[in-house]
Amino acid sequence: MTQLDRRRFLTTAGGTVAAGLAMQTLGSHAAWAQAGRPHHGNPGYGPLRRTRAANTGEELLAVPAGFTYTVFGITGDRMNDGQPTPIAHDGMAAFRSQRRGVVRLIRNHEVRNPPGSPTGRVHIPGSARYDDLGVAGTTTVDVDPRSGRVLQHFVSLNGTIVNCAGGMMMGQRGWLTCEETTAGPKQGWQQKHGYVYQVPLHGPRPGRPVNAQPVKAMGRFSHEAVAVDPRTGHVYETEDDSGKPNGFFRYRPRNPYRLEAGGVLEMLKIVDRPGYDCREGQRMGSQLPVEWVRIDDPDPDLENGAATCTQQGLAAGGAKFNRLEGCWYGDGSIYFNSTSGGDAKNGDAPNPDGFQEGYGQVWRYIPHRNGKGALVMVYESPGRKALDSPDNLTFTPRGGIILCEDDASGADEDTHPLAPGLSNVNRLIGLDPGGQPFEFALNVTDDSEFAGACFSPDGDTLFANTLGSTNTVTPPGRTYAIHGPWRRGPL
C-alpha cells in the first residue's frame, strides 16, 4: 500500500543525517525486540486521546495531547473539475507548490470496481486516458497545511486501475503511480494493466488530466511502490502479489529523466544461491551478496500464457520475498518492507507453496559501484504487539520513524479501548530512539488502514490518508494534516 515523501529529506545533507539517526533507531528496535523485554522509559508523546478535527469538529482520530489535525479531500467532495472526490485514498507524496505556504499533494486512488463502474471512480469525461473503462488514477490537491483549506483539487490521471502506491520521479518532477494488478482483456478491460505511469508535477490541470501512458519497459506485474536512486537514476520496484513468491526489481533507464525511452528490467538474486527464500529463516544484520538477473520479456502477454516477470526472474535464480510494499531511498541505500515475511506467524492459512505468513520484515539493499550490492534484513517483527504488517516505513525529517500498519492477517484481530466496536484497528506507530514502539495515531471512526504518510517539504506537517472502501463510497477515504510539538518527542 502506499509511498512517501521521505525522499525529499533523505537526498539532502540534512536528510542524510536524519536517515542515519533513523537507522540507529531501527537497529535499537531490533535489539529491543530480540531481547524480549521493553525499553525503559516513557516512549513517544504520551497517551492518545480522541480528538476532534480542527476544521470540521468530527472525532476521527486519536492523537497525543498537543497535536491537532484537519481533514480534507473526503470522498464525494466536489473538486475544481466538477467531479466528486473518488474513493480509496492510497499512496501519496507532498511537493513544494508554486504558491508560498501551499503544499501540492499527488494522491493515488486504489479503486477496485469492475470495468466502467461509475461508483467512486477517477474519471474526466472526454479526456485522454489509457483505458476508457479504467476506474482508478490520481488526484492532485493544493492545500494550506495549517488550515486544511483546499485551494485546488482535480483529477490528474485517469484510465488506469488499482493505483496503489508509487514514488517520486527523478528530481522530484512528479509522481510515479503503480497498478497493483495484472488484469487485462480477459477480465473485461480494454487494455492490459500492471504498469507504472508518470504524473508530472505541473502538467495536469482541472479538466485536463495527463494522457496516461504506461512505461512498459518497467515491467508488467503487480506493482506496489518505487524508489529512485538519485546517484544513478535506477528505479527500484516492489511487487505485492498475495499468495505467491514476489520479486524485488530494478529498472535501469537509458535516460533517468525519460523513463519511457526504454531501459533494462532486472530482478534481485543472491549470489551462488539460486531461488534463495528471503521470506523466513533470516538473521538480522547478516549481509547477503547480490547480483541482478535480466527479465527478457518485461511486458509479457499473460493473456496467452507467457511467463510473468517474476516467473522469469525465479527461473534465472531470483530471490523470493512475500508481499513487498513500501520502498524508498535513504543514506545511500534502498529500504523496502515485506508486509508478511518473517518467522513469527500470523495464523493465516499457508500460501499455495506452503509458506505461512509472518508479521513483517524490513530490508536494506546497499548498492555497490560494480552494479551489484548487498542485502541486509534490518528488522523482523516478533509478533503483533511489536509490529503488525508494515506497509510504509517513514523516516521523519528529524530522524524518527513512523510505521503505517496494514493489518494483513484475517486470523489475528486487534481491538483498542479508544475505538469500541472496531475489531481491526489501524495505527501509525512511532519508534523512540531506544527502539520502543509507541502509538502515534489511531483511526477511531472505521477499520480502514492508514496510507500515503508523508511530511510537508518544511517538515512541520504530517499528511496521511485513511483508505476508506475500495469499492463503495462508505466508509469514505480521507486525507489528514497533523500538526504538533514534533521536537518534544522522537519524530
- The single residue listed with the C-alpha cell 486470523 is 411
User: Ranked by mean pLDDT, which of 330-344, 358-372, 459-473 comes out on top?
Assistant: 459-473
Adjacent-strand bridge partners of 49: 63
- Cα–Cα distance, 245 to 247 (Å, whole number): 7
pLDDT tens digit sequence for 349-359:
899 999 999 98
Distance of CA 345 to the CA centre of its chain: 23
Cell of 261: 525511452
What average pLDDT score do residues 234-261 get? Answer: 97
Residue 330: pLDDT above 50? yes
pLDDT tens digit sequence for 139-189:
999 999 989 999 999 999 999 999 999 999 999 999 999 999 999 999 999
pLDDT at 9: 33
- Cα–Cα distance, 276 to 24 (Å, whole number): 28
163, 221, 200, 169: CA torsion to nearest 10:
120
- Cα–Cα distance, 161 to 89 (Å, whole number): 13
* Cβ-count burial 367-378 (b if 16+ within 10 Å, e if not): beeeeebbbbbb
Angle at 229 between CA 378 and CA 280, to 5 degrees: 25
pLDDT at 431: 74
Domains contained in the chain, CATH given: 7-488 (2.120.10.30)
Contact 184, 301 (CB under 8 A): no
pLDDT tens digit sequence for 393-407:
777 888 777 878 776
pLDDT tens digit sequence for 250-271:
999 999 999 999 999 999 999 9
Contact 317, 291 (CB under 8 A): no
Cis peptide before 256 (omega within 30 of 0): no
Residues 6 or more apart in contact with residue 309 via CB below 8 angstroms: 219, 220, 221, 247, 249, 265, 267, 295, 297, 298, 300
- Cα–Cα distance, 338 to 331 (Å, whole number): 20
Contact 457, 95 (CB under 8 A): yes
**Own/partner long-range contacts of 470-475 (Cβ < 8 Å, ≥24 apart):** 470/87, 470/88, 470/110, 470/111, 470/112, 470/113, 471/87, 471/111, 471/112, 471/113, 471/119, 471/120, 472/87, 472/119, 472/120, 473/75, 473/76, 473/87, 473/119, 473/120, 475/445, 475/446, 475/448
Contact 210, 203 (CB under 8 A): yes
Q: Half-sphere exposure (CA, 13 Å, Cβ side) for 231?
A: 14
- Cα–Cα distance, 60 to 84 (Å, whole number): 21
Contact 457, 96 (CB under 8 A): yes
